[in-house]
Structure 1
Amino acid sequence: MANKNGIDVTEFAHFANPDWEDPVHRRCIAASLVNVVYLLETNENQANELCCLLQFEVKETVIDDNDNSIYGVVFQWHGTTNAGPGGPPSKVVAFRGTLLRPKNISHDLVEDMKVAIRHYDSISRVEKGLQYLRKSLHNNGYNNIWLAGHSLGAAIALGTAMNLMKEERHNLEAHLFNPPFICPTVPQLKVFEMGGNFSVLRDNQRSLELYAKFVGISDWVPNIYVNQKDPICQTYVHYFEVLMGIYRHKSHLLYESMKYLFSFDLVKKKSPWHLVPSATVIVATKHFFHNHHTIRQWWLKDLRINSIEYIPPDEVIQSIKYNLPVETV
């Protein structure tokens, strides 16, 4: 039966024995584990019940030092199926989004605002999350680890992954549900699509560093889940459509277009975490939720979705590298 928070554990019963090679099952398991992070703050008994059903255990909790709330969890697989590629992950590092409860709302909204205005480096939850991710990778190897998050938690997960890749490349399996895409706006992206030369950059070395980082993670393909009616994340769809249009037809404009895309971040001296060169974008098209931003939609097996993989062609990657000084690539 549903508890006072409206969660019915029987919704998850069909994942007691998942097909780990089925992307739908992998999506639903990842979303369910993110939901456990929420439940640990609202209903610990039900969180434990759901963990048991999914055959994961809470190995470690990631605590916010400002309000002592749980915003992340390191889950460990304890089922009978061997963990590894094509099977269950040995560990999942998952982060929740904003909780509108007296205990959580104040600091959660502060973190939301930091994401909105791109004060990425001041988001304390990212650095702490990175410590737990590094430890999990060290103990298990990146082929056995998943990264997951919803809303603010998706931004934290993405920031954690991007910071990790500053030091070392990992093709980490990531499930990012409703990640915020704050800027550029759709009208700005239409200009970006035209490939205009909007050279507002004043720090050329910084721009070259960003291009090199952008190119360097092109083989990392996170799963980005958006609802086409969700204003917080729906711009991701247009962003990748525009990016692929430039990849396919206007590669000679890519360098200048990327300069424009990064311009706000360069002027403000911020790293654009939300911009990734590759992704599998899964779009929910079923509109029976009043809240298009909810995590609940993503653990439903019968959710109507469209899935498109956006990966830049090799010749485009080489074209970008050609425009960069050798020492920055």
Structure 2
Amino acid sequence: MASEKEIFHLAGPSFLTAIDWNNSYHRRSIAASLVQGVYQLERDRHHNRQGPHALATPWWEFFNFRLIQVLVDDHDVSYFGAIFEFKSSHPIPLNSSFQRPPPLYVIAFRGTIKKAINRAQDFKLNLHCVLNNLEKSTRFHSGFEAVRGAAGRVGSGNVWLAGHSLGASIALTIGREMARTDGDHVETYLFNPPFMSPPIDRIKNENLRLGLRFASSVLTAGLAMAVNGRQKARENDQFTMLSSWVPYLFINPNDLICSEYMGYFEHREKMESIGAGKIARIATQHSIGSIVSAARGKVCGAVHLIPSAYLSINCGPCRSFNEAHGIHQWWRPDLELKYKFYQYK
């Protein structure tokens, strides 16, 4: 039997009957709903729900999208992503200065499903995230080709990327690679993206927290300069080149998986303000894991570290980890959000 959270008209933003594409709340809710649609596609597959019994369809059809392709993992034949196309009988002119046009394509990725049928492959992908080699996975390659194909057909400005948790890591890696290799900046919505670092932000003692962050930055920058040597300038150029790509990150402070993104950006600003900008600029590009890999002769960048971002932080109360990490929070009409724009200089 389906849970209430799976049914769009019970748990989804069905109150959004008139979409304003200029409205960030509307855009966020639609991106999150399409990601939930991918989760539901996989759950429908589990329970063999088809046709009128399928629960996934309303999660995109309500917003006038249609499913044109399901992305399938070759290893366990699970549905991990989908390509949605916007359909409208009254298209909005692309040169309109009053109304932002909807995306023509949205490529969305789900996160981990803990059911036995998904557990092995999803957890394997989580390990790829921890080891900073997600770009070696078949899910990344399938997703990247889907996004590049869509951008080639309609232009990258008409394509959105969206993902939750593990799916956010896939979307981030794809968006980063599109910017790095093609110079295409795809609008990207990342819900609870994993940050591969101890959650220093959870330490209550502010002096201890700041001290640990400063020591970590000095250590990371020192090791990076010692190990990378000649590659330092090239890596800095690549990181700077990515700075004009600004994904939307949606973070809950009670979610240990993603909360460290707040500290990552805040600390970089503080380091700049006290005259330690050079250390901050080097440290912000590297993790200890990526440095160790470089020392062993392997190219393994810290893909989760990004130069710029729009952070939306859910400051409301939270009853559990599942609620803090869940996708459903991001279309709630009573969200208490704090916004912060970080631009790498």
Q: Which amino acid aligns with 1:216?
A: M
Moved more, 107-116 or 182-191: 182-191
Find the partner of 1:191 among 208, 215, 227: 215
Q: Work out the CA distance in 2 between the residues paired with 1:294 and 1:259.
A: 27
Correspondence for 2:243: 218
Correspondence for 1:325: none
Q: Which amino acid aligns with 1:235?
A: E
Please state how far the C-alpha of 1:193 moved relative to its aligned partner. 5.3
Correspondence for 1:73: 82
> Any idea what the Cα deviations from partners look like across 1:203-244, whole Å, max 9, x if unmatched?
323333321111001111100011000000000000010122
Matches within 5 A, 1:140-179: 140-179=154-193
Matched, 1:49 2:58: yes
Correspondence for 2:270: 245
Moved more, 272-281 or 6-15: 6-15
Matched, 1:300 2:309: no
Moved more, 292-301 or 75-84: 75-84
Note closer, same or farther for the CA distance 1:33–1:50 as it changes in structure 2 (3 Å cut).
same
Correspondence for 2:20: 19
Please state how far the C-alpha of 1:49 moved relative to its aligned partner. 2.3
Q: Work out the CA distance in 1 between the residues paired with 2:112 and 2:20.
A: 31
Please state how far the C-alpha of 1:169 moved relative to its aligned partner. 1.4
Question: Equivalent residue of 1:133, what SS?
Answer: helix
Matched, 1:181 2:195: yes
8 Å Cα contact 1:207-1:266 kept in structure 2: no
Q: Which amino acid aligns with 2:168?
A: A
> Any idea what the Cα deviations from partners look like across 1:62-87, whole Å, max 9, x if unmatched?
11000111101110001345355812
8 Å Cα contact 2:286-2:302 kept in structure 1: no
Q: Work out the CA distance in 1 between the residues paired with 2:143 and 2:172.
A: 11
Correspondence for 1:82: 91
Q: Which amino acid aligns with 2:338?
A: N
Q: Work out the CA distance in 2 between the residues paired with 1:248 and 1:144.
A: 37
Question: Equivalent residue of 1:47, what SS?
Answer: coil
Question: Equivalent residue of 1:240, what SS?
Answer: helix
Q: Work out the CA distance in 1 between the residues paired with 2:264 and 2:336.
A: 22
Correspondence for 2:127: 113
Q: Work out the CA distance in 2 between the residues paired with 1:102 and 1:149.
A: 22
Q: Work out the CA distance in 2 between the residues paired with 1:196 and 1:118.
A: 16
Please state how far the C-alpha of 1:46 moved relative to its aligned partner. 1.4
> Any idea what the Cα deviations from partners look like across 1:250-294, whole Å, max 9, x if unmatched?
365346743884453133131111111110011111124422100
Correspondence for 1:283: 313
Q: Which amino acid aligns with 1:221?
A: V
8 Å Cα contact 1:224-1:281 kept in structure 2: yes
Note closer, same or farther for the CA distance 1:257–1:61 as it changes in structure 2 (3 Å cut).
same
Note closer, same or farther for the CA distance 1:168–1:196 as it changes in structure 2 (3 Å cut).
closer
Correspondence for 1:207: 232
8 Å Cα contact 1:62-1:128 kept in structure 2: yes
Q: Which amino acid aligns with 2:178?
A: L
Please state how far the C-alpha of 1:296 moved relative to its aligned partner. 0.7
8 Å Cα contact 1:193-1:243 kept in structure 2: no
Question: Equivalent residue of 1:156, what SS?
Answer: helix
Q: Work out the CA distance in 2 between the residues paired with 1:196 and 1:52.
A: 47
Identity of aligned residues (%): 28
Question: Equivalent residue of 2:168, what SS?
Answer: helix
Task: List gaps (5 residues or longer) in structure 1.
Answer: 318-329
Correspondence for 1:33: 34
Please state how far the C-alpha of 1:118 moved relative to its aligned partner. 2.0
Q: Which amino acid aligns with 1:181?
A: F
Please state how far the C-alpha of 1:197 moved relative to its aligned partner. 5.4
Note closer, same or farther for the CA distance 1:256–1:223 as it changes in structure 2 (3 Å cut).
closer
Moved more, 57-66 or 287-296: 287-296
Q: Which amino acid aligns with 1:39?
A: Q
Q: State how many pairs are aligned.
A: 312
Correspondence for 1:273: 303
Please state how far the C-alpha of 1:60 moved relative to its aligned partner. 1.0
Please state how far the C-alpha of 1:149 moved relative to its aligned partner. 0.3
8 Å Cα contact 1:120-1:270 kept in structure 2: no
Question: Equivalent residue of 2:148, what SS?
Answer: helix
Note closer, same or farther for the CA distance 1:163–1:304 as it changes in structure 2 (3 Å cut).
same
TM-score, structure 1 as length reference? 0.87
Tell me how large the CA RMSD over aligned residues is: 2.4
Moved more, 239-248 or 251-260: 251-260
Where in structure 1 do 4 or more consecutive aligned residues deviate above 4 Å? Answer: 192-197
TM-score, structure 2 as length reference? 0.83
Note closer, same or farther for the CA distance 1:47–1:214 as it changes in structure 2 (3 Å cut).
same
Q: Work out the CA distance in 2 between the residues paired with 1:288 and 1:183.
A: 22
8 Å Cα contact 1:28-1:301 kept in structure 2: no
